[in-house]
Amino acid sequence: MQSVWLTRAVGLVLPVLLTLAAATVSAEQRVLREPPAVAEVVAMIEAGVGEAVIVARIQQMAAVPTLTGEEIARLKERGATEAVLLALVGAAAPTAEGPEVAAGAPMAGGRVRSSTIRVILAPSFPVTHYEVLVDGLAVVARGTVFEGQSEPGRILKRPKRFDLNEPVVAYEDTVAPGDHAVRVGFAVSRVDEDSTTNNWMDYSRQRYRTSGVRAIDDRSAERGWSVSEAVSCQVGPGQLCVVTVQFDKRSPSRFGGLPIYAVTYEAVVTSAAEPGEHN
Question: Tell me: the pLDDT tens digits for 123-139?
Answer: 989 998 899 999 988 89
93: which residues sit within 8 A by CB, 6+ positions away? 66
pLDDT over 70 (residue 178): yes
pLDDT over 70 (residue 267): yes
> 54-68, 101-115, 188-202: lowest mean pLDDT where?
101-115
Q: Taking the domains of the chain in order of start, what are their residue ranges? A: 108-279
Judged on CB neighbours under 10 Å (0-12, 13-18, 19+), 161 is middle
Separation in Å, CA 184 to CA 50, 70, 71, 130: 19, 30, 29, 7
Q: Model's pTM, two decimal places?
A: 0.53
Most confident of the ranges 159-163, 193-197, 255-259: 159-163
Assess contact for 231 and 242: CB atoms under 8 A: no
Q: Which long-range contacts (CB under 8 A, 24 or more apart) does 190-199 make?
A: 190/159, 191/156, 191/158, 191/159, 194/149
pLDDT over 70 (residue 175): yes
